[in-house]
Structures are given as C-alpha cells and as structure tokens.
Amino acid sequence: MKGLTALLCGLIFGVGLAMSGMTDTAKVIGFLDIFGEWVPDLAFVMGGAVLVTVVAFRLVLRRDNPLLADSFSLPTNTAIDGRLLGGAALFGIGWGIYGYCPGPAISALVYLNTDTVIFVAAMLAGMVIANKATSS
Amino acid sequence: MDAFITPLIGGLLIGSSAVLLLLSLGRVAGISGVVWGAISGQADNSWRWLFILGLVLGPLLFHGISGSPYPTPSVQPWWVALIGGLIVGLGVKMGSGCTSGHGVCGIGRLSMRSLTATVTFMVTGIATVYVTHHLLGGL
C-alpha cells in the first residue's frame, strides 16, 4: 500500500511536470529570462502548487500521524546560513544554465535524449561530491 | 489564456501529489531529497524508487493521453548539460533542496528557510539567464 501510494504520488507529480511545461528547457529558460522576452506561464506552476500545499499542509499536519506511517518525517533544520544560501545560489545557476531542476530532469529521461541522461548523471555526481565535501 | 491553464493545472497536480505524499507516508515531496535518499541507500527505501518510477512514467502518461508532442530537446551541446547538471547536483545537496522541496513543500510549511532558499535560486537563475543570453549572447 505504501509503495503503491508512492508510485501514484510520483505519477501525479510527473504528469504535473509534463503538463505544466517544466520538462521543456526552452520554456524554463524563457521563464527565467525576465530581462528578455519573458514567458510568464511557469509562474502559474509554482503558484498553483503552493496554493494547494499552503492550504492542505495545514490540515494534514493537524493530524497526529500520517495514514500509512508511524510519524511525519519533516525537515528540522531552520538555519538560514551560508550553506543554505550558497547551495541555493549554485542550484539556481545550474538551473539557469540548462533549464532543468531535478524533478523535470528525471521526468524528462523518458524522452530518451542522451543529453538528459548526461544532465542527470552529472547531477547525481554533484550530489555525491557535495556530500563527500561537506561530511569530511 | 490557454498558455496559463495547463501550467496552472500542472501546478495544482504537483501540489496535490505533495499533499498526498505527506498525508499518506508523512514525507516531503522534495525530489532532490527523495533521489538522494534512493541513491545513498537509506533505510526503508522502496517508496523512494517507486516515487521516482512514477515521476518518469508521468510524462509518458500525459503525452500519451493528451497527444501533445514531447518538448523540443535543448539546443545546447552535451557539455552544457554536464556542467548544468553538476552544478544543480552540488547546489541542491549543499542547500538541502530544490524547486519542489524548498519551493513547493517548504513554502507550503511556511518555512522561512525554504522561502529564503527559493528567493535565492530564483534570483541566481534569472541572473544566470541574463548573463548567458544577454551579456554573452546565448551560451
């Protein structure tokens, strides 16, 4: 049941990404290009998603426990520090360079373009490198 | 007008997926976090791989049903994908999240940390496109 629900969640997420245009690098770059011919469409993706989470997360988190697990696993770190800002800044740069953030990149694997595989492999390598650098 | 409808519905679906994952498994639908958990072999991992499987099958379902064509592949050469991917990977691991974890879920939890991260990566994303497209005239 847990696995099936996770699969369903991933599926809905993936449909949402493809439908919204987030798996289209040209659209993403157009959205970030506010000083050029700005394509504002993708603002509605984040807007729509946050609209749902802001309202529904409040209701969900009123519960003592989730339906299929013992407890909620929520991030506990609230620090706004150099690591957060540096990491977020780097991520934005990588996002702007090619037009994929992690979710759309993985979803776009199904389009079977070699460059997307290269992007995802490099992304995983980057995660491993950052993990090694910060844990030593 | 249509240009806004599909992104909006797509966004509502993404938000609904995040809500369902939190309600059912008590987990945050941050893709970089889910992917890291999967490849680093954390305990109780099968849900992560199944979520990722769904993430990959989602576009197939969407394009299959709607008949809308796959997006045109990026015109950038492969090494730009390599550099972009590497920097994204470094950044999301260091900053503990991406568009979904900080943007969709973090802001949903009214986290100042996530809001700060989201504003930061939006600003550097916009700045990067400005540099590559307007100062360097297309990378």
DSSP chain B: -HHHHHHHHHHHHHHHHHHHHHHHH-B---HHHHHHHHHTT-SS-HHHHHHHHHHHHHHHHHHHHH-PPPPPPPSS-HHHHHHHHHHHHHHHHHTT--IIIIIIIIHHTT-HHHHHHHHHHHHHHHHHHHIIIIISS--
Question: Could you report the per-residue pLDDT of B27-62, keeping only the tens digit for each?
Answer: 999 999 999 999 998 888 999 999 999 999 999 999
The ipTM (two decimal places) reads 0.96
Q: Do A103 and B100 touch (CB under 8 A)?
A: yes
Q: Which residues of chain A neighbour B12 with C-beta distances below 8 Å?
A: 16, 48-49, 51-52
Closest residue of chain A to B118, computed from CA coordinates: A88
Question: Could you report the per-residue pLDDT of B78-119, keeping only the tens digit for each?
Answer: 999 999 999 999 999 999 999 999 999 999 999 999 999 999
What pLDDT band is residue B3 in, cutting at 50, 70 and 90?
confident
Pick from A45, A24, A31, A10: which is nearest to B9 by CA?
Answer: A45
Question: Could you report the per-residue pLDDT of A41-78, keeping only the tens digit for each?
Answer: 999 999 999 999 999 999 999 999 999 999 999 999 99
Structure tokens at B133: 């497209």
What pLDDT band is residue B137 in, cutting at 50, 70 and 90?
confident
- Yes or no: say if B97 and B33 are a contact pair by the CB < 8 Å rule: yes
DSSP β-bridge partners for residue B27: A73
Domain locations in chain B as residue ranges: 2-135
**Which residue of A51, A81, A127 is the best one to mutate when testing the B interface, meaning the one whose CB has the most B CBs within 10 A?**
A127
Least confident window among A7-11, A101-105, B44-48, B115-119: B44-48
Is residue A118's pLDDT more than 70? yes
Q: What local confidence, expressed as pLDDT, does residue B2 receive?
A: 67
Q: Which residues of chain B neighbour A108 with C-beta distances below 8 Å?
A: 59, 71
Query: How far apart (Å, rounded) are the C-alpha atoms in residues B114 and A68?
Result: 26
Query: How far apart (Å, rounded) are the C-alpha atoms in residues B73 and A44?
Result: 23
Q: Do A92 and B125 touch (CB under 8 A)?
A: yes
In this structure, what is the dihedral angle of CA atoms B118, B119, B123, B125, given to the nearest 10 degrees?
10
